[in-house]
Amino acid sequence: MLRLLLICMAALSCAVGAGASAPKETPDSAYTTLPDFTLTGSSRPDDEVIPAQRLDGKALEQLNSHNVADAIRYFSGVQIKDYGGVGGVKTVDIRSMGTNHLGVFYDGIQLGNAQNGQIDLGKYSLDNIEEISLYNGQKSEIFQSAKDFGSAGTIYLRTRHPRFRSSRRYNLNLTFRTGSFGLANPSVRFEYKISDRVSLSANAEYTYATGRYKFRYRKIFPDGSVAWDTTATRRNGDIRAFRAEAGLFGHLDGGRWHAKLYYYDSERGIPGAIVNNVWKNSQRQWDRNFFAQGNWQKRLGDRWELMASAKFARDYMRYLNPDTTLMYLDNSFRQNEAYVSAAARFEILPGWDVSMAADWQWNSLRASMVNFSLPERHTLLVAAATAWHWRGLKAQGSLLGTFVSDRSKIVSGDEVLGTRRKRFHEFTPAAFISWQPWADHAFNLRAFYKRIFRMPTFNDLYYTDIGNADLKPEYVSQYNIGAVYDFRPSSPVLSSLRISLDGYHNRISDKIIAVPKGTGQYRWMMMNIGKVRIFGVDFTASADLTLPKGITLNGRVNYTFQRAMDYSDPSDNKDAAGTYRGQIAYIPKHSGSAVVGVYWWRFNLNYSFIYVGERWHNSSNIPVNYEQPWYTHDLSVSYIQPLGASALRATLEINNLFNQQYEVISNYPMPGTNFKLILQFDL
């Protein structure tokens, strides 16, 4: 594998040399140095084959959301696993394929978790986020790292890039939030213009909350009978968290670069599930996450464009369960990750580009557990892609090669009995196409196919007494067809209208699931026996209106239908409790959201609504596993007071306006009506 890596890097080096030695047909003056930049890639929205769902600017401000996971709930085709409270774990599932099939990129470089493959998006505040983008399949851009081709869906988080008015050299933002759950959340962001080409951004935030809230715990079966009905206070949901980021942003002639440092440190309680009349849990979790990353991108001549990225990350997690009536646990885990990437794009002809990218990544995991296998993984990804457009037709294709080498130790107590090595390689294709039939109408038809997989995580393979070192990857085949219409009317009232509709089918095979080990139901092992078939429809619509008296209004509506069926065991359909062709756990057939914002003078009024239909917490779709539908209404009002060159913004948020009692995950009650007061000062 190392030899293949060297060959790929050498090929890219030759590309650099060829581009550098070629005479420049366009002088340097033809490249304009912009006062600021917002894109992390070279694509333009008009070049996208499969447009993204996006939240940025006012759209992000409209949402009564504090972290990234809460904001993503307003995308179609997305399900959030939320365990409740300010500090509860929040993960994302896209189109029912599982959390591990979603790649999360932070300023263009993927966030990793080799231990369990899940990214807790509750750790990432919106205070420093400028745009959130969601792509099904992959980003419509061939000039990207090989990692960008390696997920069934991707979320891109773009942090705020410094912008300066006229001759100003610095910006300062101070924010303070308080409200329900004993919340105290101050944050500060400072931006400084070092020179015309280099700027600095630094951001820090502290969060404290008791996490206590009252809830009504009520269960009703589909026949209307009441299983239980009581009230209590949610406890052990406290959190203390500190986040700090610093970034440098620079411009080059025909290029740009940025570097970032990130640190997160938290201690939080884990309130746990409410079962067997246990209302309070004592588990605790500590997290420390650090990474340093950078990206460089430059155009050479008219046809060549080069990009390089690098990252180092170190994560620490400690889990404590002091309850000896169950099992005393005090385990700590340390992850390390190193990553480098190089990519080149070449324009063969006007409208026809090709690219190549090579990534290398190293992961290791250490744990305090007895008999832990101490795994390490080397991953090489090589991607070749091409993009072509002619008039109203756009097409992209890519082929990703993945080469993985795992090494772990066979341990018994303090004795190392041997070393286990495992190698894997696979090639996966993707094809995307869109067609605009009429040049004077922004109506596009689109379709894509993608074959992808996810490697078993370290927990799947090596977790003591549960992991299975013989696991195979989990495969997904994606099929999508859809249409989008951007209407730009000449009406003085309706300024824009966008409607999109997509139908899709996903097939998951060799799905990794936990099954009982031996005759005891308390011991489990990971196995490749799962199969899932998913049929779905995503609908989105958004509009902007200009009303009399200087009032502007915008709205966004999303709807998702999904039939996600468990095809793992055809023999398990003999009775009503069978799982074959049952809707898989926590996937609603119907879900949707709506957001409306009204702006007048210095006032903003925002309303948002989320609906999640009936679900089951097991593929056996019987009454005992039934989960009721839930919905929430959120409302916020804000006022902006100019103070010379500065501004003060005050916002009052009321979430779950009608005190809906609901659960996203069974036995994890969510908060009722709660409020938040936010003060922001910009200098």
Q: CATH number, domain at 407?
A: 2.40.170.20
Give mean pLDDT, residues 566-593. 86
d(CA 319, CA 329): 7
Q: Supply the range of the domain harboring residue 664.
A: 2-682
Pair type for strands 376-390 and 352-367: antiparallel
Q: What backbone phi and psi angles, to 5 degrees, belong to 441?
A: -130, 130
pLDDT tens digits along 455-475: 999 988 888 667 788 889 999
List Cα–Cα distances, 68 to 18, 40, 45, 57, 121, in angstroms.
42, 18, 23, 14, 6
Average pLDDT over residues 323-341: 89
Across the range 215-241, mean pLDDT stands at 83
383-424 per-position pLDDT tens digit: 999 999 999 999 999 999 999 999 998 877 777 888 889 999
Give me the pLDDT at residue 466, please.
77
Strand partners, 181: none
Q: What share of the chain in percent tops pLDDT 90? A: 57
Count of CB atoms within 10 A of residue 291's CB? 20
- Highest average pLDDT, of 85-89, 217-221, 225-229, 300-304, comes from 300-304
Paired residues of 129 in beta bridges: 159
Cα 629 to the center of its chain, rounded Å: 24
Average confidence (pLDDT) over 191-195: 95
Q: Are 205 and 228 in contact (CB under 8 A)?
A: no
- 117 pLDDT band, cuts 50/70/90, is confident
Q: Can you give the pTM of this predicted structure? A: 0.88
Residue 57: which residues within 8 A CB-CB, separation 6 or more?
131
Tokens 């509860």 correspond to 88
Of 9-13, 365-369, 425-429, 444-448, the range with the lowest mean pLDDT is 9-13
How far apart CA 534 and CA 484 sit, in angstroms, is 22
**Residue 42 pLDDT exceeds 90:** no
β-bridge mates for residue 238, sequence order: none
Pair of tokens at residue 97: 């394929």
Q: How far apart are the first and last CA of the chain?
A: 53
pLDDT confidence tier of residue 595, bands split at 50, 70 and 90 = very high
pLDDT at 22 over 60: no
pLDDT at 43 over 70: no
Q: Is the pLDDT of residue 26 over 60?
A: no
359 Cβ partners below 8 Å, 6+ apart?
145, 146, 147, 339, 340, 341, 379, 380, 381, 382
Give the pair of three-digit tokens for residue 221: 């079966």
| pLDDT bracket for residue 523 (50, 70, 90) | low
Q: What is the biggest distance separating any 2 CA atoms in the chain, rounded to whole angstroms?
A: 80
Check whether 39 has a pLDDT greater than 70: no
Average pLDDT, the chain: 86
| Partners of residue 312 on adjacent β-strands | 292, 338
Cβ-based neighbour number of residue 381 at 10 Å: 22
Residue 58: predicted pLDDT: 73
CA 579 to chain centre: 29
pLDDT of residue 223: 75
Three-state DSSP class for 634? strand
352-367 confidence digits (pLDDT tens): 999 999 999 999 999 9
Which tens digit of pLDDT belongs to each residue from 255-301?
999 999 999 999 999 888 888 777 878 889 999 999 999 999 999 98
Q: Which residues contact 491 (CB under 8 A, 6 or more apart)?
A: none
Short-list 51, 49, 45, 62, CA closest to 593? 62
The mean per-residue pLDDT over the stretch 80-102 comes to 83
Q: What pLDDT shows up at residue 546?
A: 92
Gap between the Cα atoms of 134 and 157, Å rounded:
9
The 10s digit of each residue's pLDDT in 131-163 is: 999 999 988 889 999 999 999 999 999 999 999
Residues 6+ apart with CB under 8 A from 322: 282, 283, 328, 330
Contacts of residue 282, Cβ cutoff 8 Å, sequence gap at least 6: 236, 269, 321, 322, 323
pLDDT at 36: 38
Tally of structural domains, the chain: 1
pLDDT surpassing 60 at residue 14: no
